[in-house]
Chains A and B, each alone.
Chain A
Amino acid sequence: MLETVVQAVINGLLIGGIYALVSIGVTLIFGVVKIVNFAQGEFVMIGMYISFYLATQFGIDPILSLFVSMPVLFVIGVLVQHFLIRRVLGPNDMPQIFLTFALSLLLLNLSLLLFSANYRTVHTSYSDEAFHLGGLYIPEAKLIAFVVAMALSGALWVFLHTTDLGKAMRAASQNRDVATLMGINPNRVFAVAFGAALALAGAAGSLLMPFYSAYPFVGQVFVLMAFVAVVLGTLGNVIGALVASLMMGVAESLGIQFVGADSGLIVVFAMLLLTLAFKPNGLGGGRVR
């Protein structure tokens, strides 16, 4: 029994690490640029296809292809911010919502056209291997993904707290007008934030590739969890999103184990509802932390 619980917690934490990369991206964009990016899942999908093609065409390990997917997605993020998002920033939320939603639909349909609806998988030497400890097992690919995800989250936190640009991003998220008065160029800060968020999505895609299949709709699976984590962890709060993602992974896993395999999400959504009812601002504080 104890073993089952421990195994369920391990499973939950490992998948929670992936949720974290997606949700941190969403929360970073919300915190800094103040828009909800509905297309975040599609950028995870793009990251997966980048890793898939690098692996199948050039034999590059999907984890290593992170060094390609992250910069590529960063540039895409800067371009999207500069050419699209910048035009709709303003007091009215609606154009922003429609814009990112339209972007999501466009990317979905483009990928259907380019990559077809087939499931693409990559096999690495560690894809289907696991470390066995007593009766427990830890899948290697997921463990690597988890460790890298935590390292990237940590790096982002250090960036936000120690670099001038990071501090400028936090300042802009707290009060855009005052930050502008202090000489911070909001467009530059927004572009970096958007780029960084998409780079995280790209990383999530590359890290998923050794153990999950790529297909055009794959982003939708993860973005739902990411949005719940973002709300649970307080919109705009990076640490909050991280903690909430891990909690959700564990709650989902325990739910499947002890309630039923079709009830894993019930536990997650019950958590969301209770949090919203008793702590409407989420479990973390506001702002980008």
Chain B
Amino acid sequence: MRATKLNLILSDVQSDTTVTRTETDRLITGNKLSAIHGCFASALTLIASEVAERAKVPLITGSSSDQLNKGRTYTFTPFARASQFAKAQLQMSKLVSDQPKVAVIFENTAFGTSTSNGLKELAPGEGVEIVMFEPYSAGFTDASPLINKVKASGANALFSVSYLNDLILIVRTVKQVGLNIAINGGSGGFVIPDFYKNVGKLAEGLQGVAHWNHDMDENAQKVNAEYKKRTGDFLFEYAGGLVAQTYMIADALERAASPDPQKVREALSALDVSSGFAAMAPGGKVKFGPDGKNVYGRPVGVQWQNGDLASVFPKDDARAPLIKS
């Protein structure tokens, strides 16, 4: 930026709610912050955004909780919201079959229950039939009985709202049973390069939804190529989103012509980009509504293909066709 350097101050909140609160406070009082990035987990971002709100410092985040768009004027969310992920997932099932019959299995936790209920509510509107809807105990030892039930339900698509280990077990068991079914794992930790390294070929064909993907547009591909050159891995969802967010802040700082957080907030709320790295989001446009939500925000459907995570949905963001089984 015109002779001024953008300074990034890093801080580890250690996935701890108390640390998040004190670190956000410490960063704000100890430095003249213009804006804050983060966090990763919604539960932590909710806390950080409360602190930032009180201190009147803008916070920009890739966290997906819809809560972040309620009663806040300093929080900006350039990427898809949790409620949009469910809808995208249902629409993806229509790529698998003209008459999708979906089995929804979910871990019996707050995360599993709320996500699956979202799917259930939206399914009729999307013309998707849910033929099985079943909670299971998270951290189980054997997925066979559950997959037996999926088989009996006659489903042609399986939505698994699960954490990694359960998901791996489910994918393996589907293969053992010899069930030909498209599996969508929703938005979860399986969109990182490490997932494929650990799970290998089992991951092939696995679908999901993400708020950013490394191949979805030219700019993303450019950033990814640079990252890959240095690390050997592709740039994953959250990290890619952070690069875009950094350019959004830079854009706002340019227009604000001042590091003052209030002025940066004004500039962010007036942000309207459709090109450049700041617009590097699914849909290619960023403009914040009064609730801090990107009015163009939407998720991107992804699928593991040949060891890479390919964007497959919606059409505008797709870089490869969806492989059906």
Q: Determine whether the beta carbon of B176 is less than 8 Å from that of A261.
A: no
Q: Determine whether the beta carbon of B199 is less than 8 Å from that of A119.
A: yes
Q: Determine whether the beta carbon of B134 is less than 8 Å from that of A118.
A: no
Given contacts A11-B145, A130-B178, A261-B105, contact A213 B200 (CB under 8 A): no
Q: Determine whether the beta carbon of B201 is less than 8 Å from that of A215.
A: no
CB distance from A159 to the nearest CB of B (A): 28
Task: Give chain A residues whose Cβ lies under 8 Å from the Cβ of B117.
Answer: none
CA distance A106 to B247 in the complex (A): 44
Q: Determine whether the beta carbon of B141 is less than 8 Å from that of A4.
A: no
Task: Give chain B residues whose Cβ lies under 8 Å from the Cβ of A211.
Answer: 172
CA distance A139 to B173 in the complex (A): 9
Given contacts A128-B202, A262-B137, contact A4 B168 (CB under 8 A): no
Given contacts A121-B200, A211-B172, A253-B142, contact A130 B177 (CB under 8 A): yes
Question: In the complex, which range does the number of interface residues on chain B fall in?
Answer: 20 to 34
Residues of B171-186 whose CB lies within 8 A of A? 172-173, 175-178
CA distance A215 to B105 in the complex (A): 23
CA distance A254 to B176 in the complex (A): 19
A177 touches B (CB below 8 Å): no
Task: Give chain B residues whose Cβ lies under 8 Å from the Cβ of A12.
Answer: 145
CA distance A257 to B175 in the complex (A): 19
CB distance from B118 to the nearest CB of A (A): 19
Least CB separation from B144: chain A residue: A11
CB distance from B200 to the nearest CB of A (A): 6
CA distance A265 to B199 in the complex (A): 27
Residues of A241-255 whose CB lies within 8 A of B? 249, 252-254
Task: Give chain A residues whose Cβ lies under 8 Å from the Cβ of B165.
Answer: 119, 213, 215
B231 touches A (CB below 8 Å): no
A120 touches B (CB below 8 Å): yes
Residues of A that sit less than 8 Å from B by CB: 4, 7-8, 11-12, 14-15, 18, 118-121, 123, 127-130, 132, 137, 139, 211-213, 215, 221-222, 225, 249, 252-254, 256-257, 260-262, 264-265
13 A-B pairs with CB atoms under 8 Å apart are A11-B145, A15-B142, A118-B198, A121-B202, A123-B201, A130-B177, A139-B173, A212-B141, A256-B149, A257-B148, A260-B134, A264-B140, A264-B145
